[in-house]
Amino acid sequence: FGQAMRYAGTVGSTQDEARAWADDPHDPAPHGAVVVAERQTAGRGRRGRAWDTTHGTLVFSVLLAGPLALPDLALMPLAAGVALQAACGVGGLKWPNDLLAPDGRKLAGILLEADLRGEEARRAVLGIGVNVSAAPEGAAWLSEFRPGLTRAALLARILAELERWLAAPPQAVLEVWRAVNVTLGREVRVVTPRGILTGTALDLDAQGSLLIRTPEGTTVTAHAGDVQLVG
Ligand code: BTN
C-alpha cells in the first residue's frame, strides 16, 4: 500500500478524495493508493458522526480495489483494527475497531466504506484517523504514550500492518483481535441499527459479529453498532 500516494492540504474528506481519484479516467488510483491530508473540513466517522481533524492528527484513506466478496468484507474492519493496534503499539480495541488508550479515551478510529454492486463490493475505501500530537476534548493522543513517533513513521507502519492483516487468514485476525481487545467480558450497551442491546460481551463469531449474553440469559448477535462499555 502507498505505492501511489497523494498528499493534500485541506480537503472535505479523504474518503471522497480517494473515490474521486479512483474515478479519474486519466490517472485512476490503483489498489492500495493512499490519500493523506493535513486537514479535513467534512471528516466523517462511523454511524454518520463527524470526525474532527484538528492540528496534529493523521488522517488518510486507502483505496481497496474490488471486486470484494461480502464475507471477506465482514472481517475487514476487525483486521484493520488489529493492524492499527499493532502499528501504534499501545491501547486496546473496542468492538469493532476503535483504538482506546489504556485509560479508555479514544486514540484512533476506522471507517470502512464499501461501494456495493449486487452481492459484492466493487471497491472499498478504508479511512483512518489517529490523534498523534493533539486530540479533540476528551480523547487521547499517541504522543502521550509513544513520544517521538512522527506522523510519517506512523503512516508507514500502519500501511505495512494493513497489508499484512488484510491478507491474513480469518482465524489469525480473530485470534489477535481477541488478544488485544477491551470489549469481551465487559458489560456493554450496543446501539445497533435495529435497537439497543445490553448484556455481557461474550465473544466474536466467525464473521466478527459480537455475541452478547443478555440479562435474561439468551445470546444475541450484533452485526453492526456502537459499543458503550458500561462495566
Ligand atoms: C470513527 O471512529 O467513527 C471512524 C473515524 C474515521 C475518520 C477517518 S479520518 C480519514 C478518513 N476520512 C474521513 O472522512 N473519515 C476517515
Q: What is the number of the ligand 1 atom nearest to the C-alpha of 128?
A: 8
Q: What is the pLDDT of residue 52?
A: 82
**Average pLDDT value for residue range 166-176:** 97
Q: Compute the distance from residue 127 Cα to the ligand 1 centre, in Å.
A: 5
Q: Compute the distance from residue 216 Cα to the ligand 1 centre, in Å.
A: 36
> pLDDT of 106-164, one tens digit each?
999 999 999 999 999 999 999 999 999 999 899 999 999 999 999 999 999 999 999 99
**Whole-angstrom distance, CA of residue 112 vs CA of residue 47:** 11
- Tell me how many helices (H) and strands (E) the chain has: 4, 12
> What mean pLDDT, rounded, does the chain reach?
96
Q: Which domains does the chain have, with CATH numbers?
A: 5-179 (3.30.930.10), 187-229 (2.30.30.100)
Residue 19, CA distances (Å) to 15, 98, 127, 229 in order: 6, 23, 11, 34
Percent of the chain with pLDDT over 70: 100
ipTM over 0.95: yes
**Whole-angstrom distance, CA of residue 44 vs CA of residue 160:** 24
Confidence of residue 88 (pLDDT cuts 50, 70, 90): very high
The pairing of strands 92-94 and 187-192 is: unpaired
Q: Compute the distance from residue 88 Cα to the ligand 1 centre, in Å.
A: 17
**Whole-angstrom distance, CA of residue 174 vs CA of residue 204:** 8
Cell, residue 207: 464473521
Which residues are within 8 A (CB) of 161 and not within 5 positions of it... i.e. 6 or more apart? 82, 83, 84, 86, 87
Pocket test for ligand 1, best of 41, 76, 111, 227 (most atoms within 8 A of CB): 111
Confidence of residue 48 (pLDDT cuts 50, 70, 90): confident
Among 46-60, 82-96, 162-176, 200-214, which is the least confidently predicted range? 46-60
Using a 6 Å CB cutoff, which residues line ligand 1?
13-15, 40, 43-46, 49, 51, 59-61, 98, 109-111, 127-129
Q: Is the pLDDT of residue 173 over 80?
A: yes
> pLDDT of 54-78, one tens digit each?
778 999 999 999 899 988 899 999 9
Q: Compute the distance from residue 15 Cα to the ligand 1 centre, in Å.
A: 8
| Nearest CA residue ID for atom 11, ligand 1 | 127
Q: Is the pLDDT of residue 177 over 80?
A: yes
Residue 181 near residue 94, CB atoms below 8 Å: yes
Q: Compute the distance from residue 13 Cα to the ligand 1 centre, in Å.
A: 8
Cell, residue 65: 480495489
